[in-house]
Structure 1
């Protein structure tokens, strides 16, 4: 489009309620994705579900970003280097992290999955120590121990309704990969535009998931005739609200609100997930689950509020 020479009017400031509304979207929508995954994998194989979600969402977001910046060159690096960086982060967070959630929810309730994924900030503390040499400090170290104690409660073999051991292990590995991938992202050359970077990560992570689905035989085992409308609607929810809307809301909130405020989604999402899992899928909410959830939430909350110590 040809730009005119007339001076542009300054943009009106965003209303004060907008970032808070955006954070509410992150609370509810990201918390509800665990329920959507559980419904989606009822008739769609887990790796195929996750791969399709991120390829479609990443393609739509990348097209939006490209259209938005058609008249101006995108900020930040271009070429193969940012794509390679996006692939590393996308595989660690989306392929292993979220793909692991999809696989694990075949044998683990969605609420328990959300609680274990909530430990990502704790894994980030370990990753920051291992990769960057950052001192943990007393408060964050205590938060780490408390959070891991909560994990121990949740994965204890005697726990009721927590799911299979293999599923719990997959969730912990996926959460650790997500935490380490988040820290690694700070050491790589990613696009400055958060939406463009997220789109590239979704595209590369989604492609890796589809390769994994093919190698594991999921594509060959898929029977399109058995896929229900319920699962397809869950997939559409994961692509639209679960990826595009929630991520955009997250960026809006992060640009205005304090980081520690936005980070509270890490311990609000599990509450939403456990509640929806109980109401919609009749997942059990036992005393064992509530104790583990309380301990994990306490550890994560302290870790997010504590300031990291300098290296």
Structure 2
């Protein structure tokens, strides 16, 4: 679980910058379709070669629903928004994901502890401080960035109650179906491919291997085995990584207030991630923490 958290925290934090570089010369939806189709097919072929059963029709249908919400609605809307917003701003707005996750989890009877609510609040305060003085997105980009975590967190919580393929086959099926849906959307919106730059192709390769094959599979493990607030706590660390990459590689600057905000964000993460005390008669998800 700790390894999966580390992968999701660090790798997904870097994908915001990777997406920004990739869409510099690649169509947003077409780039994502390529990313998830390649990653999904590779993982599917590897698992089938090791004797893992193919998903049933019911499991393919459930995977398509999750792929549409997470990859199409979540990642797709973020990628479209990054045409007019910086990678840092995109990561900052998506920090509301743990709050949405906690709210959606209650639809299925899962509870959120008082300390988790406190951690969510502290994390959001840190995000607000980090955003002071930063560039702001256009109204359309801001709207897309608000809708993206709604799709992502609802899909994440719904996936816990759907008949998805077991283990990594679930990730493979979601990426394949999500990639197909994104490809259809790319054609529907009339996206055209030009001549990609070496930087865009390199960023796409990084997104395929690390952002999809590695981090997405790690995230789906966390969704299935940990409580919602912890599974989505990556949304507090991702902005830290995104801003550090923006400062180090993108020429952005970070004020003293920004560095102080990072400490507040990490405090929120600690409050959310700290294990609960198991109480007699507790039938929640504590045992999976």
Q: TM-score range by the shorter chain?
A: 0.7 to 0.9
Cα deviation, residue 283, structure 1 = 2.8
TM, length-normalised to structure 2: 0.80
Unaligned regions of 5+ residues in structure 1, if any? 1-18
CA RMSD, aligned part only? 3.6
Assess if the C-alpha contact under 8 Å between 2:229 and 2:272 holds in 1: no
**Would the alpha carbon gap of residues 256 and 241 (structure 1) be closer, same or farther in structure 2, given more than 3 Å must change?**
same
- How does 1:147-296 map onto structure 2 within 5 Å? 147=123, 159-192=133-166, 194-219=167-192, 222=193, 224-225=194-195, 227-247=196-216, 265-286=234-255
Q: Deviations over 1:133-191 (max 9, x none)?
A: 44445334444444555566677xx8431332322221121012111111101111111
Q: CA deviation at 1:64?
A: 0.8
The one of 40, 47, 51 aligned to 2:22:
40
| In 2: Cα distance, 1:295 partner to 1:56 partner | 38
TM-score by length of 1: 0.75
CA contact (8 A) 1:147 1:300 kept: yes
Report the Cα offset of residue 67 of structure 1.
0.7
2:107 paired with 1:138? no
Contact kept in structure 2, 1:20 and 1:253, CA below 8 Å: no
Q: State how far apart, in whole Å, the 1-side matches of 2:113 and 2:226 are.
A: 26
Contact between 1:160 and 1:286, CA under 8 Å: does it hold in 2? no
Q: How many residues align?
A: 280
Q: 1:174 to 1:301 in 2, by over 3 A?
A: farther
Contact 1:140–1:306 at 8 Å: present in 2 too? no
Q: 1:174 to 1:289 in 2, by over 3 A?
A: farther
* Whole-angstrom CA distance in 1 between matches of 2:111 and 2:227: 23
Counterpart position of 2:59 = 82
- 2-structure distance, mates of 1:255, 1:27: 17
SS across alignment from 2:69: helix
Contact 1:143–1:300 (CA under 8 A) maintained in structure 2: yes
| Structure 1 range deviating more: 109-118 or 296-305 | 296-305
For the 8 Å contact 1:160–1:288, the answer to whether it is kept is no
Tell me: CA distance 1:96–1:251, structure 2 relative to 1, closer, same or farther (3 Å).
closer
Counterpart CA distance in 1 for 2:120 and 2:6 is 27
Once the two structures are superposed, residues 205-234 of structure 1 have per-residue CA deviations (whole angstroms, 9 ceiling, x without a partner) of 111111221222213xx3x23x21111111
Aligned 8 A contact 2:21 2:203 in 1: yes
Q: 1:171 to 1:302 in 2, by over 3 A?
A: farther
Question: Which of these two proteins has the greater Rg computed from alpha carbons?
Answer: 1
Q: CA 1:262–1:134 in structure 2 vs 1: closer, same or farther (change >3 Å)?
A: closer
Q: SS in structure 1 opposite 2:171? A: helix
Secondary structure of the equivalent of 2:244?
helix
